[in-house]
Amino acid sequence: MASGGRKIGFWSAAAIGVGGMVGGGIFAVLGLSVQLARGGTPVAFAIAGMVALVTSYSYVKLSVRYPSRGGTVEFLDQAFGTSFLPGSANVLLWLSYVVMLALYSYAFGSYGATFFSPAHQPLAKHLLISLGILVPTALNVASAKIVGRTEVYVVGLKLAILLFFLAVGSQGVDMARLAPSTWVPALPLVAGGMIIFVAYEGFELIANTGEDLANPKRDLPRAFYAAVIFVILLYVAIAIVAVGGLSLDKLISARDYALAEAARPFLGQGGFAMIAIAALLSTFSAINATLYGSARLSYIIAKEGELPAALEREIYGQPLEGLFITSGLALILANAADLNSISTLGSAGFLIIFAAVNAANLRLAQETKAMPWLAALGLVGCLVALVAMIWQSISDDPSRAWVLVGLLGGALALEGAYRWVGFKGPRKQKA
């Protein structure tokens, strides 16, 4: 469907990328990153950011050559067709968004539970996790316009609160807490950065604006690079203030709501409450927007012929079957898994997808006018990061191997089962 509305510019596209990344990730994984990287947490965020930045080069080249609301799905299909493996990768992308919904709702429940007494926190956490998915699902059913309106205001509010946190907190940073002697060894440091790679998930959403930009050749590269570089600097600064302002033990003990705890030394209980409220707003809006996008992603994949046509069927003009299935899966995962497992799943899924996008850019280098060595660097970077993350995860807890196998195996099994019962091929031209 061609765009018939108003065209957007650089600032709108960049805001989509920043909003996608600073959705709920930093609120959810800061404590986990401290547990994994300790005093090297800012370095871990920087390493993960470099992988995202190199991958953004492939997204830029593919987005300019193949502007489409399908984004990642379109790029993989252009490079590899609609065969089994590309189809499985597209299903993996959808499942990875389900994992992100679980991560955001887990963070929503964790921060919300801090407003209850310790005795009631476990029950409150699960109740809030569930409401954090069910309420946005209802909003998505009611009106897509609500999703768009709320996201614009919440993105501005959470950025303002985070910048205030940095402005005030930077005055109390103890650099001794960030000294190299407090870092974990190099390989665990890299692996720790990759486990919290989900904090950078979201920049790829800029690719979906390709058809709507007034000048995509000029504005897409600027939007991608500006958004990713801004968020790298933001995350590293937040990590410096958090780790430099509070002991590692206290941050780790408050792992599920570490950013709010980091505000307590210089902003008191009021600062704790302010960050917790910002986290609730941010994660809620991230769930809202991710549900909106992932339900439509399942719709796009179904129209490509890589998921059952039921997910393509619209109810009241919206792809509600995909919405309900996505919500249901996220609800189960968020209530059943722990933060480390959810974060590992999400990071693994997106590292595999981003490796595939870099491979697509390498395969289509003549079409996209890309530098093959840079696309290859992105591909190798994602794969090395994935191996390091898997090694660290299995070393810490061998049972996580089954979690990772379940994610990848689930994507392969879904796509394989669908093709076995009858693959119909792309349905793009359906009215």
Residue 309 is predicted with a pLDDT of 53
Q: How far is CA 180 from the centre of its chain?
A: 29
Residue 9 is predicted with a pLDDT of 82
How far apart are the C-alpha atoms of 250 and 228, rounded to whole Å? Answer: 30
Query: pLDDT of the chain along its 431 residues, tens only?
Result: 344 445 678 888 888 888 888 867 789 899 999 999 999 999 999 999 999 999 999 999 999 999 887 789 889 989 998 788 888 888 898 889 899 999 999 999 999 999 999 999 999 999 999 999 999 888 777 655 555 555 567 778 888 889 999 999 998 899 999 999 999 999 889 888 898 898 998 898 888 777 778 888 999 999 999 999 999 999 999 999 999 999 999 999 999 999 999 999 989 999 999 999 989 988 887 887 777 766 666 656 655 555 555 454 554 455 567 778 889 999 999 999 988 889 988 999 999 999 999 999 999 999 999 999 999 999 999 999 999 888 888 888 887 778 888 888 888 887 777 677 655 555 444 33
What's the number of CA atoms in the CB half-sphere (13 Å) around residue 407?
30
How far apart are the C-alpha atoms of 122 and 151, rounded to whole Å? Answer: 29
38 three-state secondary structure: strand
Residue 3 is predicted with a pLDDT of 43
Residue type, 123: L
Alpha helices in 246-338 (DSSP H): 248-253, 258-303, 320-336
- Give the single-character DSSP code of 307: S
Residue 191 is predicted with a pLDDT of 86
Residue 224 is predicted with a pLDDT of 95
**pTM, full prediction:** 0.87
How far apart are the C-alpha atoms of 43 and 28, rounded to whole Å? Answer: 18
What percentage of the chain's residues is helix, strand, coil (to nearest 5)? 85, 0, 15
Residue 37 is predicted with a pLDDT of 93
How far apart are the C-alpha atoms of 118 and 110, rounded to whole Å? Answer: 12
Residue 302 is predicted with a pLDDT of 59
183 three-state secondary structure: strand
Q: Which helix (H) or strand (E) holds 424?
A: none
Structure tokens at 343: 């974060």
How far apart are the C-alpha atoms of 426 and 90, rounded to whole Å? Answer: 13
Which phi-psi region, left, alpha or beta, contains residue 384 (left: φ > 0; alpha: ψ -120 to 50)?
alpha
Structure tokens at 142: 């009611």
Residue 298 is predicted with a pLDDT of 62
How far apart are the C-alpha atoms of 197 and 238, rounded to whole Å? Answer: 15
1 three-state secondary structure: coil
Domain residue extents for the chain: 21-418
Residue 316 is predicted with a pLDDT of 44
38 strand-pairing partners? 183
User: What would the CATH number be for the domain defined by 21-418?
Assistant: 1.20.1740.10
Full DSSP string of 203-234: GGGGGGGGGGBSSHHHHHHHHHHHHHHHHHHH
Q: How far is CA 303 from the centre of its chain?
A: 24
How far apart are the C-alpha atoms of 179 and 184, rounded to whole Å? Answer: 11
Residue 428 is predicted with a pLDDT of 45
**Whether the Cβ atoms of residue 340 and residue 113 lie closer than 8 Å to each other:** no
How far apart are the C-alpha atoms of 360 and 357, rounded to whole Å? Answer: 5
